[in-house]
Amino acid sequence: MLKIVIWTVVTVTALGLVLALVLYLIAKRFRVEEDPRIDEVEKVMPGANCGGCGFAGCRAFAEATVKAASPDANFCPVGGNEVMAKVAAILGFEAKEKAPTVAVVRCNGTCDLRPKTNEYGGYASCKVKAALYSGDTGCSFGCLGCGDCVSACSFGAISMDPATGLPVVDEEKCTGCGACSKACPKGIIELRPKGPRGMKVYVSCLNRDKGPAAKKACAAACIGCGICAKTCTHDAITVEDNIAYIDALRCKLCRECEAMCPTGAIHGVGFPKPLDKEGIKERIRKRNEAAKAAAAAEVKKEDKA
């Protein structure tokens, strides 16, 4: 009996050693050499693994960036330009700086401006709520108020305001990773350039219904009237599908569109002084009068010629 036990142990041990040797030889034969720079890049990454770069995590980002022809093909929003400069140095490149971005909530449908038409009693999730129906207000484009964006944020940069029922972004904490934007089934959270000293102007509405229907659903909805586009002298505003959009790269932060918007759908954020609507409207009036006078003078000049 003892011999059987001993032979069993010896046989199993020998078989284990043989199999281990076979596995070692196979692993050595088919081993894929990994670029050591991947580990170096991963070490300088913030380690948030938030997915804001478009990859599953920092390791996946490092692998893709090392294999890419240039580090400019990818960008880490959490680490920003500082981290990307280190990554570029490891890879022997010079990184191009990118303007920092921040999340903005493109919905101004507060509880007062966008009254509820029914009560939702299901699971508190925007994704679930959106799958069931268009929402508990007359606007089918606005915030659903369940806070999926809050749960998605790894940096505590977004919270729900109980008074308005809308998410609020803390720009000091926001890294621009885009997790909240991806979590929102209505797509109301957009990443926009942070702007000089945090100043920015954007349309806080995504309602694509025609003017009367949009206004009925929310008092602060964009009605697609186009006044903002006509007012802007920088070609920064377009109106498509009954909704206005401001190009952050062209916007000069003059706030004229904000002053002229009849519903208050355009928001100026981060400005040191409150909006002087009357002053801006007077400036626009004088400019229009000057333009008319110049056009009239040009016509007279042509008539004389």
Nearest to 245 by CA among 230, 262, 228: 228
Structure tokens at 48: 């948030």
Q: At what angle do helices 80-91 and 58-67 cross, to 10 degrees?
A: 50
Q: Is 11 exposed, middle or buried (0-12, 13-18, 19+ CB in 10 A)?
A: exposed
How close are the terminal C-alpha atoms of the chain, in Å? Answer: 125
Asked whether residue 31 carries a pLDDT value surpassing 70, the answer given is no
What is the residue-averaged pLDDT of the chain? 89
Domains in the chain: ranges and CATH: 38-91 (1.10.15), 112-187 (3.30.70.20)
pLDDT of 191 reads: 95
pLDDT, tens digit, 9 for 90 and up, residues 114-166: 988 888 888 999 999 999 988 889 899 999 999 999 999 989 999 999 999 99
* Residues 220, 275 contacting (CB under 8 angstroms): no
**Rounded-to-integer distance, Cα 66 and Cα 58, Å:** 12
pLDDT of 156 reads: 93
Q: pTM of this prediction?
A: 0.79
